[in-house]
Structures are given as C-alpha cells and as structure tokens.
Chains A and B, each alone.
Chain A
Amino acid sequence: MDNTGRTAALIRAVLIITGAILITIGILGKEYVSVFNKAVRICLECIGIG
C-alpha cells in the first residue's frame, strides 16, 4: 500500500475521536462512579479469597 501512512493516520484519528466520544458518554452516564465503586472495594472472590 502506497499510502499506508495516511490510512493508518486516518484510522488512528477515528479511533481517538471515537474513544473520546465513548468516554464522554460514559462520563455523562456516571460510569466512572461504577468504576470507582468497584475499584475501592475488594470483592473477595475477585482476588481469589473466599
């Protein structure tokens, strides 16, 4: 492919923009609170205990 560079850069831009959009949707939907809640409490089963 002669324009590998350009295609790659395009895909990269799309991925970054999509990523940013998804993050925004997630922030609006307060998903970061869920992530927080799961990250600050240890579900014992999840670390192989009990």
Chain B
Amino acid sequence: MSGMHRDRLNGNGIRREKQRRTVRNVIRIASLFLFNGYLTGFRNGRIFTGRTKSVCVPVLNCYSCPGALGACPIGSLQAALGTSGGRFPFYVLGTLMLFGAVLGRLTCGLLCPFGLIQDLLAKITSKRITVPKKTDRLLRYLKYAVLALFVIILPAFFRDDFGSSVPWFCKYICPAGTLEGGIPLTLADRALREMTGPLFWWKVLLLAAVIAGSVFIERFFCRYLCPLGAFYSLFSRVSAARMKIDSSACISCGKCGSVCPMALDPVRQISSAECILCGRCADICPAEAVSLRFSLFSVNALREKD
C-alpha cells in the first residue's frame, strides 16, 4: 500500500497534505463548538441544562462551563466514585473505555478544546524551554499519579463524617474547570465573585502556571498533568486510531521528530503512549512515510511496522 505513495515530493502530495491539515483544523474548531456550543450561557452566567448533559464527552471539558453541552468524563467519574455508599461507575467507565478503544489519544490531538488552547498558546512565541530528558521522563508519570490519586483514590475513599466526598481533581487542580467554568461564571455574576475565597485564587494561580508552561513547552498540561490523557494513553497500542510509519519509505530526515509537540521521535516511538495523534509528523514527512490510520475492524492495515 505504501509503494503507491512514494512520489510524494510532487505538488499533488503537498496539496493533499494541506487539505488534510485544513480538515483537521476545521474539526478542531468544530469540536470546540460541539462541546461548548451553548453560547448564550456565557452571556447570562448560567449553564446548559438540556438532555445531552447526561452524556459524557470524550474530552476534558468542565460541565460547569456555561457553554458545555455534555458532561465531563473526569468530573463524572469522581462524582460517581464519590457517591455516598460508593457505586461502581459502569456508565462513565464504559463510555471512557469506548472512547479509549476507538479514539484513544486522537481525542487529545484532534478534539480536546483545552488541547487546542495549549496549541494556540504555543504559537505565541517560538522560544522553547527544553526539559532535560531525565526530568521530562519522570514528569510524564505525574499525570498517572494525578489520575490514580485525585480522580480515583481520593474521591472514592476519603469521605467526611457524612459520607460525602469531594471531587479532588475538579476542586483542587483542574485548570480547564477554572478557565471554562470558574472564570466565566465569576465574570458574569458579581455575587459569585464576592464568594470567591483562597481556593479560587489557588486555582487561578494553577491555571496561570499551566498557561505559562504551555507558552514555552508545547502541550505542557497534556504531557505532565492531564488525567484523561493518562487514561487514554493506556489504550495507545490498541486504539482504532493510530499513527503508522512505513519504515521502507522513511528517509531518516528527522523532520517528524522536530515538529512533534510531545517531543517524540515518530521513527522510533510511533505507537508511544505519549502520542496525541496530532498528525504534524505526517504532514511534514517528505516521503509520506507517516500516516494516521483508523482501523476499527481490519487487521490488514497493521502489516506495516508499528
């Protein structure tokens, strides 16, 4: 299959790539509105209460965001685990598994509004802070700790005397919640503003740090902190959406690695758990050796090296 694409250096190939990139960008912006389409909510300072709020969206999107049309899977997971008496979260977990198996981290690269925001922030300057390899590798594990501790263990097991629990991640960490929910709501409503206390300012500080980080380190939050990304990364090797590299076409120019926002080398790490399937490597490859594949049912597509 790859042999047919060998003459990529001609205009056709480049045009096709541009087409794909445009489609991808259109999808990213469309996603932003799909998951946050309730625009009147921003004006009135209220949230959407329609039926779709019973469905979890695949991305990290605070359901306290005035625009949010669906439920945040991470928020719903903490709430389900924290329910007095503790119930196994069948519905939320099933939804997450489905998203993980079908989309995997394509969600991160293509659908997540917070991911889009980080990518826009990274465009502000081309200055980059290069994190030393060892530190970077260690920090990548932090998001799994956030997932395990703040999303699962603390909400499930740490309750007060009334058996009520707190959504630890939402309450103390999630910058998406602050950006999409806390800030728009307090801006729209003076009385809410007067209720803000030290916790609110801690979260604003955290958001500021994540924003600052994202300007100089691409996908800062996705790399080190996002529990949903951590969850989806567990599906990296089996999700239907995957990046593929045709090693026979690869000319080892290194261009793919230089554009990867997750600081990966696609040649060696094409099915890495860190890959968010943003497609930049596929776009820039002069030999069109790298491509995004979606193979829900077929096994054949996996003949190439992965």
Q: Do A and B come together as binding partners?
A: yes
Q: Which residues of A does B touch, CB under 8 Å? A: 4-6, 8-9, 11-12, 15-16, 18-27, 29, 31-36, 38-40, 42-50
Q: How far is the CB of A47 from chain B (nearest CB, A)?
A: 5
Which residue in chain A gives the minimum CB-CB distance to B239?
A12
> Which chain A positions have C-beta within 8 A of B186?
49
B196 close to A4 (CB less than 8 A): no
> Which chain A positions have C-beta within 8 A of B167?
43, 46
Within 8 A of A (CB), among B155-209: 166-167, 170-171, 177-178, 181-182, 185-186, 192, 195-197, 199-200, 202-203
B185 close to A38 (CB less than 8 A): no
Which residue in chain B gives the minimum CB-CB distance to A6?
B299
The CA of A26 and the CA of B133, in the complex, are separated in Å by: 43
A15 close to B100 (CB less than 8 A): yes
> Which chain B positions have C-beta within 8 A of A23?
90-91, 94-95, 98
> Which chain A positions have C-beta within 8 A of B299?
5-6, 9
A48: which of B51, B91, B177 is its contact (CB, 8 Å)? B177
Contact (A31, B90) CB under 8 Å given A19-B101, A46-B75:
yes
Q: Is the CB of B60 closer than 8 A to any CB of chain A? A: no
B: contact size bracket: 35 or more
Q: Is the CB of B238 closer than 8 A to any CB of chain A? A: yes
Q: Is the CB of B54 closer than 8 A to any CB of chain A? A: yes
Q: Which residues of B does A touch, CB under 8 Å? A: 47-49, 51, 53-56, 62-64, 68, 70-72, 75-76, 79-80, 83, 87, 89-98, 100-102, 166-167, 170-171, 177-178, 181-182, 185-186, 192, 195-197, 199-200, 202-203, 235, 237-240, 295-303, 306
Q: How far is the CB of A12 from chain B (nearest CB, A)?
A: 5
Q: How far is the CB of A42 from chain B (nearest CB, A)?
A: 5
> Which chain A positions have C-beta within 8 A of B202?
48
B76 close to A35 (CB less than 8 A): yes
The CA of A29 and the CA of B88, in the complex, are separated in Å by: 11
Q: How far is the CB of B305 from chain A (nearest CB, A)?
A: 10
> Which chain B positions have C-beta within 8 A of A36?
51, 53-54, 71
